[in-house]
Structure formats: C-alpha cells, structure tokens
Amino acid sequence: MAVSADIIDTPGVETMQHGRRPSWQQEGTEPDYRFSLANERTYLAWIRTALSILAGAVLVHQFASRLQPRGLVLAGTVLLCLLAAALCGLAYFRWRANEIAMRHAEPLPFPHVIPLLSVCLLMLGIFVGAMVAIA
C-alpha cells in the first residue's frame, strides 16, 4: 500500500506515528539518527549493567548463606539493589543529557556515572573479598 507524500507531511501524522514527545526533544535540530541510535545503545548497555548488578544481589542473597555475619550479607544485598536502581535512573538522565547536547550541537556532558559506578564496585569488591576471607 503506497502512502502519498502529502499524508506524510501532515502535522498530525507525525504525532500519531511517534506519539507525544517531550518538549526537550522538540528543541534544536534533529541529530543524525546514527548518533541517536548509538546513544540509545549506550543507554541499553547501562541498563544491562544494572540488571547484572541486580542479578548479583539475588545471587548473594540466595547462595551466600554460609557467610557470616548474616546482617552484613543482607546489607551488601540491599546496597547492590540500590546501586542497580540508581544506575537505571542515572542511565536515563545520561541518555537525555546526551540527546539534548546533540540537538544543540554542544559537547557531550561529562559522564559522572562512570566514576561513581567504579568507586561503588571497587568498594563492593573489597567488601566481598573481606567477607570471603573472614568465612
């Protein structure tokens, strides 16, 4: 079925195809779709990382029953869950900030999430190493 060009240029058709867009997505110029898709892939990579951390929390909670004290194991599990939740939220704001910067032809903002995640996982690694050494 062919669609005529005058239907595609109709303002209401774009709204129907793409749904309601936030105001910041209507500002500036539309970036090259390749950059938008790369930004989206990066966002999805952050989400996968958060899911991996959440899976690690479930693993610790279910299979680290021999580690003592149990309260510290539970605290580590809760911290992993909080880190995964925070990472999901930060991933969205990073994606949005990158999209806005691309729309206004500005440099991409500094990725504050990367040092935060690195420090959190470093502390977690030390914590888990200490727990295993004690047990």
Q: Which of 3, 25, 5 is nearest to 15 (CA)?
A: 25
**96 occurs within a structural domain:** yes
Q: What's the whole-model pTM score?
A: 0.72
Distance CA 13, CA 25 (A): 17
Which letter does DSSP use for residue 106 in this model? -
Q: Which residue range forms the structural domain that includes residue 50?
A: 31-134
**117 occurs within a structural domain:** yes
Residue type, 37: L
Q: Token pair for residue 63?
A: 């299979």
**99 occurs within a structural domain:** yes
DSSP codes, 10-54: -HHHHHHHH----GGGGSS-PPPHHHHHHHHHHHHHHHHHHHHHH
- Domains in the chain: how many in total? 1
What is the per-residue pLDDT for 135?
67
Residue type, 53: I
Confidence tier at 60 by pLDDT (50, 70, 90): confident
Q: Token pair for residue 94?
A: 């990073």
What is the per-residue pLDDT for 38?
94
Confidence tier at 4 by pLDDT (50, 70, 90): very low
Residue with tokens 């032809």: 105
**6 occurs within a structural domain:** no
**11 occurs within a structural domain:** no
Which letter does DSSP use for residue 110 in this model? P
Mean pLDDT of the chain: 83
Distance CA 20, CA 12 (A): 11
**118 occurs within a structural domain:** yes
**Is the predicted pLDDT of residue 68 greater than 80, yes or no?**
no
**Is the predicted pLDDT of residue 44 greater than 90, yes or no?**
yes
Which letter does DSSP use for residue 67 in this model? S
